[in-house]
Amino acid sequence: MYKLNKVDKKFPGVHALKAVDFTIGRGEIVGLVGENGAGKSTLMKVIYGAYQPDGGTITIDGTAVRFANPRQAMAHGIGMVFQEQSLITNLTVMENIFLGFEKQFVKFGVIDWKAMAEAARRQLAKVKLDIDPATVTSNLSFAQRQLVELAKVLTLEERIDGDLVILLDEPTSVLAREEVELLFRLVRELTSRASFIFVSHRMDEVLELSDRIYVMKDGAVVDVVTHDEANIDKIQHKMVGRDVDKEYYREQLQKPYDAERVLVGFDKVSVPGKYSDVSFDLHPGEVLCLVGTEGSGRECILRTIFGLEKPSAGTVRMKGGVQTTFKARRAVENGVGYVPRERKVEGIVGGMNVYENMTLSQMKNYASGGILRIREEKELARKWVDRLAIKTPSVFKDCGGLSGGNQQKVVLAKWRSGGSDIILLDHPTRGLDIGAKEDVYDMIREMCDAGAGIILVADTLEEAIGLSHTILVLKDGEVQKSFRGEPGNKPSLFDLVHYMT
Amino acid sequence: MSFIKKHIEQEKLNRRNFLFASAAGLGSFAAAGMFGPGMARAAITDPTIAWSYRNRTNPYWNEIVSGGEAFVQSLGMSKDALTHLINEGSSEKALADVKALLARTNGQLALAIDTNDAPNCRPVVEAVAEAGGYVSTIWNKTDDLHPWDFGDNYVSHMTWSDEKPAEETARILLEAMGGKGGVVHLGGIASNNPAIERLQGLRNALVDYPDVELLAAEPADWDTQKANQVMSGFLTRFGDEITGVHCANDTIAYGVIEALRAEGIEDMPIVSYDGNPQAVQLVAERKILATVFTNPHWGGGITASLAYHAATGAFKPSEEPNEHREFYGPTIMVTPEDAAEFKASYLDSVPSYDWADFWGPTNGQIQYK
Amino acid sequence: MSLDRIKPHLPWITLLVLVAIVGGADSNFLKPHNLISMVADIMPLFIMALGMTFAIYIGGIDLSAQSVANMTTVIATVALPTLGISAAVVCVVAGLAFGMVSGFITTRLLVPSFVSTLAVGGVAYSLAQYLSGQRALYMDATLRDGSFGWMVGKSFGIPHEIFVGGVLLLAMLFLQTRTTFGRALKAVGAGELAAVASGLNVTRIKVMAFALSGMLAAIAGLLFSVKLSGGSPTLANGFLLPAIVAVLVGGTPLTGGVGGVVNTLIGTLIVAVIRSSMLYFEIDATMQQMVFGIILIAAIAMTIDRSKLRIVK
Amino acid sequence: MNGILKREALVKWAPLIVLLVLILLFTVLEPRFFSVRNLARIAISSTPALMVALGVTFIIIMGSIDLSMEGTVSVTAVVFAFAFLALGGTVLSWAWLALPLAILVGAVVGFINGLVHVKLRIPSFMASLAMGFVGTGFALLLTGGDRIRVEDEVFRGLLTERWLGFPVMVYVAALFLLIGWFIQAKTTLGRNFYAVGGGEELAHASGLNVNRVRILGFTLAGMFYAVGALMAVGRIGIAETATGNNFMFMSITSVVVGGTALWGGIGGVWNTLVGVLIVNVIGNGMVVIGLPGYVQDAVLGLLVIVAVVLSTDRKSISFVK
């Protein structure tokens, strides 16, 4: 029913889509995979009307269409569920659901809130969400918000006669496993009313959910596989254009850590409302993974170590010294490096170039009396650009313009070059393509070899299991269980999930 | 004696003075001619005439401008020939504009200016003198700066001694109050010289009225809306204790009248200052008991005229006595009795002044305390 | 692509175009003497704008600058007889202190700088009124020349104000581009969260930015006071909006992290040229303000580099 | 959860508590402060400011800012006065048409302001600042610097006519406050302001025509400025270029003091009402208790900071600029 024929899209200097053919049938779930920069997001934007193609045609049930903006695409039944937090948090759930389409509830210029609430309740019922539509969105959990998103897109059902095509852009990235399963169940049920295009970096999820999978590389569709013939290795091969290392998580490189020394010691540490009585030791060469759902206290523990959160009870030791002042600057002096989840806003400073970003945390090493030794900064940056194979035309390039993987490398280089040996990684591979992920995994092993201790909040449970020496499972701010994870003797997914929920 | 008669008397006197003055002026012109052009750039044949003032939103400055334009027209030019520099209350802009104009005119400039803040007067005068232009100032000038220290280029400074007239209006007010009760004063921008003098005038008068209490004095920044709010506050604070209001100028009085009107108070004795047409009308209606007319129209014209005639060499400032270089401007009290007469002769039809009669209506040399 | 390359240069191209237009209309404008004098006169405003740049660079604003300058004109005049040249130190310290208070209120008490600086400005204005006894004061000429004559003299035909402004510009340029503080400032402006996550003491950096703004406002007031040989609590009135306009026209948008002190120099000169152009084109007095606004819209539309603005609010 | 609710409630009511505390404070210092007559005085001085502040509230909710109010108020006041006098000079003649005309002029000025901001892609701070210059300049051009007196007894009844101790203009202002609330709470446009302020890109992606909302917002603000101008003229009886003076900083300060966040999405017309009252209570109270003029700026500044500090939800913001 929905069909793209030889769609082309060019940007200055980039041929983003090259004669892409794409079809989706009624009630079908189509997966869309590809590395970052392969053209997935451009393709999606073309589909939901944010971009207009330069060449090719789009047809719905054989009729050619052209969308000048997302609103026109919506009128043809095409809706988009955005990646995380695309609801406006200061509005109520019902306002979000009907944003831009309030007209139906307006009588004589007045919004009939009761009618809107009623309609919103009907939408929420479709996604089996039982909340008051007048709830302010900021009070919802991430999983709830994701469902509200879906409910919002499903309003298209009432608005238009034809079939729906719903794009799901990384809908699972903020969800815990059981929430993902709930979402998938829902999507499958909804195929009676809509077709879905499912975009995710989590290959296993794509395989699990999709009827067919489009594989993109360099702006072109390189393969289309059906659910039954799909196979992770094969798809990844197509995406990357080469074989992916069997030892994805570099388990063979995992070495025992130095149990004698302790880099970070938590002894019954509590932050009110966030976590309580958390104890662990981080040793040189160790990867310690914090596992738990959103809100289980993982992030807050990282923030405590980095000095952004002051615990109310317990003692925090760093390299033997008991910490009394909790300041980020102090933590950095102690050798803590923080690789935040929101790479674009917290990791790098867009608008500053590569060397400026790399020395940001350690300017005093490159300054005498407050005056920067810029030449040395550049030397450092060139060295690390080579060492981590950062793809950038020069060290003067604005980091905001680098790809996600290269940005992450700059962030890691920032801490590693400054000699940090307590590295906090918050979703370090989020949104990275396979090649870049592998680079990150390599770097984690390398840092361990160099004697650094790593605290990891992983993007997926597999990643957590594959990478860590130690896994702490948290739930509601309390440590439920600690697992050891020597190669060959790792806990299973089931083990973890059991304690998470 | 009504003020009109007084004024006519004065005019007669002045005419006599003028004859002396013009004779002296011609004499000096001739003298300058004899010594030739090398001595000083005494004569600029066609100087640009400019007025630099605060803004166009205040009727006072509009009167000043009308005088400047009248003078320019008296020279046979269109009134557009007057260049306007508006500083919007910024000393910095006032100075920058003057310098830009000096550059544009190569110093062929006859400038009349209120420099906005007293300290700004020195750099303005210095800039004009350096460029060979001629400047006459009004109102704002620091006490250590004198025209005679700049040869011919700083032609004159005129200000108005407000203390005495303000004292006189205060006496009218205090009499109207029956010599007892409470009075409030709403002043101008606190650091402005006229604001200080006008308050002092009230204080001087109060000495003779021991039964009247000065309840409060607050700055209202020459601003109608601010005055309105301050007066509202006074009404709460003092209520019926207020039996009279002394305003530092007319625009303040408008705000006060409206604040009183909002409370249904129509008969409060009020005096003000400046003699704006609207205020004169209110005086005639006895809503204001007295205002002081400083004849800004004449002031605007004569200040430009002084600078112009000095520039063209019609007279030589340095040969004039000090009282012709620093002097007080005219002040005329307007009371309900003579308001109609005053309005007819000054406002309804603007008298055509003799713009070469520089010092006629003036009030003597400036005295420093 | 070529347009992208031109964008960063638009501010000074705009300036040159304006100078050419005014100069073309009246060649008197282009006389070196006039240009130098124009630049010298704009220096106090420039110095205030220079400080304002730092506040705007981190995404804030400093509405106290004018009041602080007013205050220092009074302090300088009052303190000159007893302290001599040390009066300058008192002024600078006072400006620094007021700026720090603004910064503290903004960063620690989480009051938006638009309001906090306005409020602190109120305090400075009150202090100025109190110190001056609510009247205009003047400096003794010999005392002024003895202590501060060097600020307003002339060497090689160039007024010393230009040197004062130039030295400050170079110092601030050095601070902005070559020091850890400048780098930190850029990081805070362009990506505050990333700066926090890099362990920078963002609060301190912001407080220092406001302190710098206060200090430069104080120096602007001091220079103006010396130039005018006096002080009053209203002397620097009319500085604030042109100073903000100068920073914005120079291409430092309110979103922070873009632009810098050189942009502010260009912006200040654009303001000066537009202002003079009113005289050269003999714009009618009642029309000047409207024309200024329209030219301003055109100039800002020309100079801002929208590619650096994610969304236009 | 309970704790969070309590905190939210406290923050929500904080501006009102600040207002009540201030009233109490001034009443203790000077009992006459709390009299109907004085409250009426505060109400009178608040009405024009409230109208202007309401207008800018919508803009601030969108996360933008508008600094053009001084110009807009002056232009509308002057156009109103000219039209009013030209059409007969009393509300009882065709001159009443000048009232809707003024609001129309305000809408046009606001519309242009919005166009400059949206179409030329100039941040609202700069666009509106420059448009403010244009507005004041245009008013000056129209008047040539003269003041226009509006003497009509019926129109001035806004000030002189009293019901229950308060002049008519206070009731008119209350009516427009309700209209503002209606727009904010009951209309699509009002809700869209919150959407734009909460997340412009997201709103756009949801199919909202953000540019249209913005332009309409500035237009609406212009209309409220016009009402403010009418109130100001009604209060003083004079329309002039300076009618708009001092509205800019005061109205934005009031909005912030009332608890509307400058980064958008939070707050509303009731907050603005409280904010305007706080600022005017402080202004009136300082005079009433007899604070010397030269310390008033400082005291106002300090009290404003205290008010903002108390009414800010510190947990909800990560950083403030």
Q: Which residues contact D115 (CB under 8 A, 6 or more apart)?
A: D215
| Torsion of Cα atoms, A102 then A106 then A110 then A111, to 10° | -50
The verdict on ipTM greater than 0.95 is no
Partner-chain contact D321 C115, CB within 8 Å: no
D interface test, pick of C289, C291, C294, C303 with most D CB neighbours within 10 Å: C289
Is the same domain home to A374 and A461? yes
Q: Which DSSP string corresponds to B191-216?
A: T-HHHHHHHHHHHHHHTT-TTEEEEE
CATH code where residue C220 lies: 1.10.3470
CA A50 to CA A306: how far, in whole Å?
40
Tokens 């944003």 belong to residue:
A99
Q: Report the predicted TM-score, pTM, of the whole model to 2 decimal places.
A: 0.87
Could you tell me the two tokens for C27?
Answer: 């060649």
Is the same domain home to B213 and B224? yes
A245 lies in a domain?
no
CA A41 to CA D67: how far, in whole Å?
39
Helical ranges in B106-162 per DSSP H? 121-131
Taking residue B1's Cβ as centre, other Cβ atoms within 10 Å add up to 7
Q: Among all residues of chain B, which has the CA nearest to that of C141?
A: B144
A51 lies in a domain?
yes
Is the same domain home to A93 and A150? yes
CA D75 to CA C105: how far, in whole Å?
36
Which of C189, C169, C177 has its CA nearest to residue C254? C189
With beta carbons less than 8 A apart as the criterion, state whether A304 and A311 touch: yes
Partner-chain contact C111 D308, CB within 8 Å: yes
CA B28 to CA B130: how far, in whole Å?
22
CA–CA min distance B156, chain C (Å): 19
For position A203, what pLDDT does the model report?
A: 79
For position B31, what pLDDT does the model report?
A: 39
With beta carbons less than 8 A apart as the criterion, state whether C227 and C151 touch: yes
Is the same domain home to B139 and B19? yes
Average pLDDT score over residue span D280-302: 90
D288 vs B65, B237, B262: nearest CB: B237
Q: Which residue has the higher pLDDT, A251 or D175?
A: D175
Q: Which residues from D are below 8 Å from C248, CB to CB?
A: 125-126, 129
The angle subtended at Cα A408 by Cα A406 and Cα A413, nearest 5°, is 95
Q: Which residues from D are below 8 Å from B223, CB to CB?
A: 242, 245
Chain B meets chain A (3+ C-beta pairs below 8 A): no
Handedness of CA A224, A227, A230, A231 (dihedral sign): positive
B359 lies in a domain?
no
Exposure on the CB side of residue D64, measured as CA atoms within 13 A: 37
Is the same domain home to B275 and B322? no
Averaged in consecutive runs of 10 residues, what is the pLDDT profile of chain A (501 residues)? 87 79 90 79 86 88 86 85 76 89 84 91 87 88 83 83 84 76 86 87 83 87 86 78 65 81 91 89 92 81 88 89 86 89 83 90 88 91 89 85 84 89 88 79 88 88 85 88 82 77 65
D172 lies in a domain?
yes
Question: What domain range is B222 assigned to?
Answer: 163-293
Domain count, chain D: 1
CA B163 to CA B194: how far, in whole Å?
8
**Residue D6 pLDDT grade (very low, low, confident, very high; cuts 50, 70, 90):** low
With beta carbons less than 8 A apart as the criterion, state whether D263 and D65 touch: no
Q: What is the pLDDT of residues A286-323, one digit of tens each?
A: 999 998 877 788 888 998 999 888 898 899 998 888 88
A342 touches chain C (CB under 8 A): yes
Is the same domain home to B227 and B283? yes
Residues of B with CB under 8 A from a CB of C: 56, 65, 80, 83-93, 95-97, 99-101, 103-106, 117-120, 122-123, 140, 142-145, 189-193, 196, 219
D126 lies in a domain?
yes
Chain B meets chain D (3+ C-beta pairs below 8 A): yes
**Residue C53 pLDDT grade (very low, low, confident, very high; cuts 50, 70, 90):** very high
CATH code where residue D182 lies: 1.10.3470
CA C60 to CA C207: how far, in whole Å?
11
Could you tell me the two tokens for D221?
Answer: 């603000």
Partner-chain contact D117 C312, CB within 8 Å: yes
For position B29, what pLDDT does the model report?
A: 40
**Residue B33 pLDDT grade (very low, low, confident, very high; cuts 50, 70, 90):** very low
Is the same domain home to B149 and B273? no
Which of C58, C42, C21, C302 has its CA nearest to residue C159? C42
Q: What is the pLDDT of residues B231-260, one digit of tens each?
A: 988 998 888 899 999 999 999 999 999 999
Question: What domain range is D123 assigned to?
Answer: 14-313
Exposed/middle/buried for residue B340 (C-beta within 10 Å: 0-12, 13-18, 19+): middle
Inter-CA distances, C190 with A366, B290, C196, D10, D202, Å: 21, 62, 12, 34, 22
For position C71, what pLDDT does the model report?
A: 96
* DSSP label at residue D206: T
Handedness of CA C131, C133, C137, C143 (dihedral sign): negative
D160 touches chain A (CB under 8 A): no
D interface test, pick of A45, A88, A114 with most D CB neighbours within 10 Å: A88
With beta carbons less than 8 A apart as the criterion, state whether D297 and D286 touch: no
Is the same domain home to A297 and A226? no
Could you tell me the two tokens for D79?
Answer: 């156009």
Tokens 């030739």 belong to residue:
B36
Q: Which of residues 28-67 of C touch B (CB under 8 A)?
A: 28-29, 31, 33-34, 37-38, 41-42, 44-45
Tokens 């794009």 belong to residue:
A167
Res B36 pLDDT > 50: no
Question: What domain range is C233 assigned to?
Answer: 9-305
Question: What domain range is A98 assigned to?
Answer: 2-240
A248 lies in a domain?
no
Count Cβ neighbours within 10 Å for each residue of D13-38 and write b for 16 or more, e otherwise: ebbbebbeebbebbbeebebbeeeeb
CA A202 to CA B87: how far, in whole Å?
67
Q: Which residues from D are below 8 Å from A101, CB to CB?
A: 207
Number of Cβ pairs < 8 A linking chain C and chain D:
165
- Ramachandran region, residue C37 (left: φ > 0; alpha: ψ -120 to 50; beta: rest): alpha
With beta carbons less than 8 A apart as the criterion, state whether C144 and C227 touch: no
Partner-chain contact A372 C191, CB within 8 Å: no
Could you tell me the two tokens for A487?
Answer: 């190669």
Domain count, chain A: 2
Final residue before a domain boundary, out of A209, A240, A271:
A240
Res D93 pLDDT > 90: no
Q: Which residues from D are below 8 Å from B263, CB to CB?
A: 37, 41
B84 vs C275, C276, C285: nearest CB: C285
**Residue B13 pLDDT grade (very low, low, confident, very high; cuts 50, 70, 90):** very low
C196 vs A328, A336, A359: nearest CB: A328
Backbone φ and ψ for A75, nearest 5 degrees, come out as -60, -20
Is the same domain home to A92 and A235? yes
CA D130 to CA C283: how far, in whole Å?
18
Partner-chain contact C193 A331, CB within 8 Å: no
Is the same domain home to A345 and A491? yes
